Chain A
Amino acid sequence: MKVYDMLIVGGGPGGYTAALYAARAGLSVLVLEKLSAGGQMALSERIENYPGFPEGIDGYTLAEQMQAQAERFGAQTELAEVLALDLRANPKIVETSEGTFYGRTVVYAAGAEPRQLGLPMEQALVGRGVSYCAACDGAFYRGKTVAVVGGGDSAAAEAMHLLPVAKKVILIHRRDTLRATKVYHAALTQAENLEFRWNSAVTELIYDGRLTGLRLKNTVTGEESSVSCDGVFISVGREPATALVSSQLSLDKGGYIVAGESTRTEIPGVYAVGDVRSKPLRQVVTAVADGAAAVHSAQSFLAGLENTDCLPE
């Protein structure tokens, strides 16, 4: 039975950074990724806020390079979907579509996914007008009309991000008031190029090769209407991929794993990295930082130095 020093669940930027650090530290390490390196990052057309790429880089290419870099030092990858984990076992057990794997430590870096509206063509139009991240894709809509769907803090932040860029921003929300924090309200209501569409739900994406508009239904009167736009930013929440570990690790109310900057969870030898971790900012740069921190913590654990009774900070 092969026992890896470290099993990494998820091949996004956090996972592959942990793989790189672990491999360079001489640990045997296997990344379990269900589809492709990069996770959510691989779906970003251009990443312009990751240092070192002055012209930006597409997320897929950056992911391929992170994978190649980790593998150059001996990290391995298995395209496997994780089905179950036993994090308290010794060694820890990860059951996948490609078989069972054993590790002395587990880095859980399964990521998060933006919640979808669930409309036909929504996935196919990603990159052709449908986006889940204004910080990622907003710059492509300079001088254009865009819609933002949602009413929480993240939707408000998306709108704020788009206001200086777009000609017009249409904020579409199911209710008649924003759920977002008050600090956003004044800024949004004062913006000249922002139009609110209250009590409105998106019922259809209108497209002709790429997105051209949205069909709306009034949630109070049932009246239907449509708006023309070049892009729509869907911001109706995120869902961390933590269901598989929810019975073993503490989650916060958003479903994120409770762990501090060391990424240590309540189970010794188990680390929460990237978007699954409870933290204020989820970006590629913060995910890669987590990956490095996890290996630092894991090295102490593997050397028997980590106080196994300590709680996550």
Chain B
Amino acid sequence: MAAISVDSEQFSQMLAGEKPLLVDFWAPWCVHCRALQAAFDKAAEENEDSVLAVKINIDEEMELTNAEGIEVIPTLVLYKNGKRAASVVNPGSKAAIDAFLQDALGR
């Protein structure tokens, strides 16, 4: 299943959940963000038992983006227990997303 887009309110709710939260900070004008889409969705699908994957459009959620200190996109952030655990900027392959998740989830 493709990762869903969420706003800051939904983000806060999901952050409080038990499952680790994987967020793709992106924007429609960002060509690298678009190129990442298929690989992100595939990685999200393969890891759906252990991670909740969502996307946040930084143009629509500027305040949240600033609060989370996102300065470069695409940035993937993994939150565990409501806290930012790890992040990666513009992973260049699906394999790079997988490696990031493996590492961040401590598997």
Please tell me if the beta carbons of B36 and A36 are within 8 angstroms of each other in the complex.
yes
Please tell me if the beta carbons of B94 and A126 are within 8 angstroms of each other in the complex.
no
Please tell me if the beta carbons of B35 and A80 are within 8 angstroms of each other in the complex.
no
Name which residue of chain B comes closest to A97, CB basis. Answer: B95
| Cβ–Cβ < 8 Å partners of B29 in chain A | 127-128
Shortest B89–chain A CB gap in Å is 8
The complex places the Cα of A80 from the Cα of B95 at a distance, in Å, of 7
The complex places the Cα of A124 from the Cα of B92 at a distance, in Å, of 13
Number of B positions contacting A (CB below 8 A): 22
Partner of A36, one of B37, B95, B96, B98: B37
Check: A180 CB closer than 8 A to any chain B CB.
no
- For window 17-48 of chain A, which residues contact chain B by CB distance below 8 Å? 34-38, 42-45
Number of A positions contacting B (CB below 8 A): 22
Check: B65 CB closer than 8 A to any chain A CB.
no
Q: How many A-B pairs with Cβ below 8 Å?
A: 67
Check: B12 CB closer than 8 A to any chain A CB.
no
Check: B4 CB closer than 8 A to any chain A CB.
no
Q: Given A121-B72, A127-B29, A127-B30, A97 and B35 touching (CB < 8 A)?
A: no
- Could you mark each residue 40-65 of chain A with 1 if its beta carbon is under 8 Å from any beta carbon of chain B, else 0? 00111100000000000001100000
| Cβ–Cβ < 8 Å partners of B35 in chain A | 35-36, 38, 42-43, 60
The complex places the Cα of A295 from the Cα of B47 at a distance, in Å, of 36
Check: B34 CB closer than 8 A to any chain A CB.
yes
Check: A79 CB closer than 8 A to any chain B CB.
yes
Check: A123 CB closer than 8 A to any chain B CB.
yes
Q: Given A81-B95, A97-B98, A42 and B31 touching (CB < 8 A)?
A: yes
The complex places the Cα of A123 from the Cα of B73 at a distance, in Å, of 9
Shortest A232–chain B CB gap in Å is 16
Please tell me if the beta carbons of A34 and B32 are within 8 angstroms of each other in the complex.
no
Partner of A81, one of B73, B90, B94: B94
- For window 55-96 of chain B, which residues contact chain A by CB distance below 8 Å? 71-73, 89-90, 92-96
Q: Given A36-B39, A45-B31, A126-B32, A97 and B93 touching (CB < 8 A)?
A: yes
Pairs A–B under 8 Å by Cβ, sample size 13: A35-B39, A42-B31, A44-B31, A60-B31, A60-B34, A79-B39, A123-B89, A123-B90, A124-B71, A124-B73, A124-B90, A127-B29, A128-B29
Question: Which 5 A-B pairs have CB atoms at the shortest separation, nearest pair first?
Answer: A97-B95, A34-B93, A81-B95, A79-B94, A124-B72
